[in-house]
Amino acid sequence: MQYLEATRRLYTAAAQTPDDQLCCVSTPPWRMPDLQIPDIMHEMNYGCGTTVHPRDIPDDAPVLYIGVGGGLELLQFASLARRDGGVIGVDNVPEMLEACSANLEQARELNDWLTPRAVQLRAGDALQLPVEDDTVGLVAQNCLFNIFREEELDQALREAHRVLRPGGALSLSDPISPRPIPPHLQADDRLRALCLSGALPLEGYLARIVAVGFGTIEIRGRRPYRILDKERFGLDEHLLLESVEVVAYKTPVPEDGPCIFTGRTAIWFGEAQSFDDGKGHVLRRDVPAPVCDKTAAALDALGLEHLIVTESTWHYDGGGCC
Ligand SMILES: C[S@@+](CC[C@H](N)C(=O)[O-])C[C@H]1O[C@@H](n2cnc3c(N)ncnc32)[C@H](O)[C@@H]1O
């Protein structure tokens, strides 16, 4: 397909000549204890947001990272996993794999703990992963899936689901759009490869993740990403793209729909020490309880004077029940 070829060409060039302007975010240099990151990895940071959240690291199954770029997030995952075979990186651009391998070599000079077998690089495609079924604890991708058209996006999500063991997690960081991106921009292969015109509205993006079988979803972060301004991009109105960090779990999708945590909280402040909704949610008085959107809506609908349900913060950090 022509746009996939255009994507390969763009990232071949980005592997050969690092371009710190290629991706459109300026993130502060990531610091972790006992981790030195070579400058070249920052220059080749072609992602938005992060997929690296320490609490997701599996102890007994590898992390699979799709679309390696300069290796920054591979190194961060390796630093957290700290074991041989802890991280596998897959990319379909040979030059990117070579650059990433050279960058990891530099990282080994700076970090004694980084063994040659901590990260294994494999040539392969997100649409046909070179990985066995049900073997991976965490799959991560940053700023790749948004490039795909919907058919390929569904295929990439099915592949991530296939290789994850039950209960495993898919960590994604991608741009999203407040409304569908107009067809003339979607059809621009270069803008798409630059992560500027393939973004979906959040609801559509999440619906596709659920459709392949991820039953629990957490929104870990959401922030401004880029303006597509009406003059340069031929639009009626400016379009503010955001980036979103999502972690989706390979758990069965409940009959009444997925559990999607967007940072909503329920707080009971009535006379009783706790409030029980009879559906498995017991709220202790005055203690904010993170709840998924389905439960938030059900609790809100009760219309109780001493129960408030807060809006989405788009920053969920665990501790909730569905
Ligand atoms: C936007 S860059 C992101 C790189 C890296 N994730 C980061 O955050 O810096 C996209 C990466 O995906 C790779 N890539 C593009 N198409 C791919 C595909 N179909 N399968 C696997 N990797 C692909 C590119 O070579 C590049 O390394």
Q: What is the pLDDT along the chain (322 residues), one digit of tens a residue?
A: 899 999 999 999 999 998 877 765 666 667 889 999 999 999 999 999 999 999 999 999 999 999 999 999 999 999 999 999 999 999 999 999 999 999 999 999 999 999 999 999 999 999 999 999 999 999 999 999 999 999 999 999 999 999 999 999 999 999 999 999 999 999 999 999 999 999 999 999 999 999 999 999 999 999 999 999 999 999 999 999 999 999 999 999 999 999 999 999 999 999 999 999 999 999 999 999 999 999 999 999 999 999 999 999 999 988 776 6
The boundaries of the domain holding residue 218 are: 2-249
Instruction: Clarify whether residues 177 and 285 are in a common domain.
Output: no
Instruction: Clarify whether residues 135 and 283 are in a common domain.
Output: no
60 near 137, Cβ under 8 Å? yes
C-alpha 191/C-alpha 108 separation (Å) is: 35
Instruction: Clarify whether residues 46 and 70 are in a common domain.
Output: yes
In a domain, 21, yes or no: yes
Instruction: Clarify whether residues 142 and 42 are in a common domain.
Output: yes
CATH code of the domain in which 117 resides? 3.40.50.150
In a domain, 318, yes or no: no
Using alpha carbons, select from 270, 316, 273 the residue that is nearest to residue 293: 316
Give the pTM. 0.97
In a domain, 314, yes or no: no
**316 touches ligand 1 (CB under 6 Å):** no
**47 touches ligand 1 (CB under 6 Å):** yes
Using alpha carbons, select from 122, 89, 92, 119 the residue that is nearest to residue 104: 119
Q: How far is the CA of 196 from the centre of ligand 1 (A)?
A: 14
Neighbours of 291 (CB within 10 A): 27
Output the six-digit token pair for 267: 């707080």
Instruction: Clarify whether residues 28 and 148 are in a common domain.
Output: yes
Minimum-distance ligand 1 atom for the alpha carbon of 125: 20
Q: How many domains does the chain have?
A: 2
**197 touches ligand 1 (CB under 6 Å):** no
**45 touches ligand 1 (CB under 6 Å):** yes
In a domain, 110, yes or no: yes
**71 touches ligand 1 (CB under 6 Å):** no
Q: Which amino acid residue places its CA nearest to atom 4 of ligand 1?
A: 69
